[in-house]
Amino acid sequence: METRILKIRGRTEAAAAARLAATSRWMKAGGWHLVDYSAETGSALYDRDPDAPPLGWLDPTRWAPGPAWWHPAALLPLGGLSWPKALILLLAIAVVGTVFLGLWLETRLGLPGAQETAEEQWRVVTADALNVREGPSTSSQVVGVLYRNQRVLVRSGTKGWFQVVHPVRGYAAANYLEAEPPP
């Protein structure tokens, strides 16, 4: 006859009792039954019925000491958390993490959509070639050139100039940057 001794943990007596019940249901599915439980040590002794079908190689009761190995609540230090609540919590953490990872990657890769704020807007260049300057003045140094039909991301400007944010940083004359038509 096969036996297994499993450690049943819980922060409270109710949590330990819930974990014992879950473990017993899990073990019963593999042909095991509870023989003895010691609340003092948190140990549960299980025997396997001799007439139960043999355990398959992938049967978790063959290798793992108990459901604490795959139970989502075991991954978090929240003793006594029920299976559905633990699963919902893990899924919520995964979704939030995925969103933040996507935003972080988008920002790190320098994609224009990640840098756009409420005061920024997309414009289209209407001149054949438009100089981008260090400051909002024709006497400022030229830092780049924009060409006809090129999309640029700009911030609100002053005195006939837009501050260009993408693809090059600087200032460009507002009368050569037309609002982009809606898609």
Identify the pLDDT of residue 20: 87
The amino acid occupying position 68 is A
Identify the pLDDT of residue 120: 84
* Domains within the chain, CATH numbers bracketed: 3-70 (no CATH), 116-179 (2.30.30.40)
Selected residue with higher pLDDT from 120 and 55: 120
pLDDT, tens only, 37-85: 888 888 888 888 788 777 666 665 555 554 444 444 444 455 555 667 7
Beta-strand (E) ranges in 31-150?
A: 32-38, 43-48, 120-125, 129-133, 142-147
Identify the pLDDT of residue 127: 92
The whole-angstrom separation of Cα 168 and Cα 146 is 9
Burial class of residue 34 (count of CB atoms within 10 Å of its CB; 0-12, 13-18, 19+): middle
pLDDT, tens only, 7-20: 887 788 888 888 88
The whole-angstrom separation of Cα 136 and Cα 125 is 17
> What's the mean per-residue pLDDT of the chain?
78
Q: What percent of the chain is modeled with pLDDT above 70?
A: 75
Q: Could you tell me the pLDDT band of residue 147, with boundaries at 50, 70 and 90?
A: very high
The whole-angstrom separation of Cα 46 and Cα 33 is 5
Range of lowest pLDDT (21-30, 41-50, 83-92): 83-92
Identify the pLDDT of residue 76: 47
